[in-house]
Homo-oligomer: A and B are copies of this chain.
Amino acid sequence: MRGKRTYESVDLDLIELIIKGIVLAEKENTKKRFYDFLARKNLRLTSQRRVIVDTVFATEQHFTAAQLLQWSRARDKSVSKATVYRTLPLLTESGLVREMDFGKDYRFYDPNCADRPNHSHIICQDCNKIFEFESEEIEQLEDEVARKMGFSIQTRRLEITARCEVLRRFGSCKNMPPEK
């Protein structure tokens, strides 16, 4: 009998706590990387920039410029629209935030790309939520195709829109109701 180690009982609360701690530490580290980026470019760490960066890496959600402004101002009224719009290019330039383009009229930003720069997105047309996934196999195939065509890949962007199978079959799904 080829063994797989199993546990009689698991303290799920503890595990959740540990995971939360790890995520938090990663986010703190990401912020530090951005501060280094600023220093390297002789840019200053102002209170407004600190608030914006705190806000960006306090969430795992994809957000718009308008949302970031709203969230940042909730923390500190001294953050203005102009500063948000001037800070976003710095964040994307640093590689710690990725700009995403769905068919919409405004841009989305993704704060989860520090560790997983190549992840892809599935946008559910039923609930409008954005899900992330990674596939090493797809990446390898992309590399192969590109190489055959004489290119070496710089960035890749795979965005899939899809319908929820659970919803289609059972009339509802755990992600409903849609948020606007």
Residues of A near any B CB (own CB < 8 A): 99, 101-103, 122, 124-125, 131, 133, 135, 137-138, 141-142, 145-147, 149-166, 168, 173
Instruction: Choose one: B157, B161, B165, B168; the contact of A158 (CB below 8 Å).
Output: B157
Contact B155 A160 (CB under 8 A): yes
* Residues of B close to A124: CB separation below 8 A: 151
A162-B166 contact in complex given A101-B101, A135-B145, A141-B138, C-beta closer than 8 Å: no
Q: In the complex, what's the smallest C-beta–C-beta distance from A28 to chain B, in angstroms?
A: 29
A141-B137 contact in complex given A101-B102, A156-B158, A156-B159, C-beta closer than 8 Å: yes
A141 CA / B157 CA spacing, docked (Å):
15
Q: What would 30 A/B residue contacts be, using CB atoms closer than 8 Å?
A: A99-B103, A101-B102, A122-B149, A122-B151, A124-B151, A125-B154, A133-B145, A135-B145, A138-B138, A138-B142, A138-B145, A141-B141, A142-B158, A142-B160, A146-B160, A150-B165, A150-B166, A150-B173, A151-B160, A151-B163, A151-B164, A151-B165, A152-B162, A153-B161, A153-B162, A154-B161, A156-B161, A157-B157, A157-B158, A157-B160
Q: In the complex, what's the smallest C-beta–C-beta distance from A159 to chain B, in angstroms?
A: 5
* Residues of B close to A131: CB separation below 8 A: 149
Contact A146 B122 (CB under 8 A): yes
Contact B149 A168 (CB under 8 A): no
* Residues of B close to A158: CB separation below 8 A: 142, 156-158
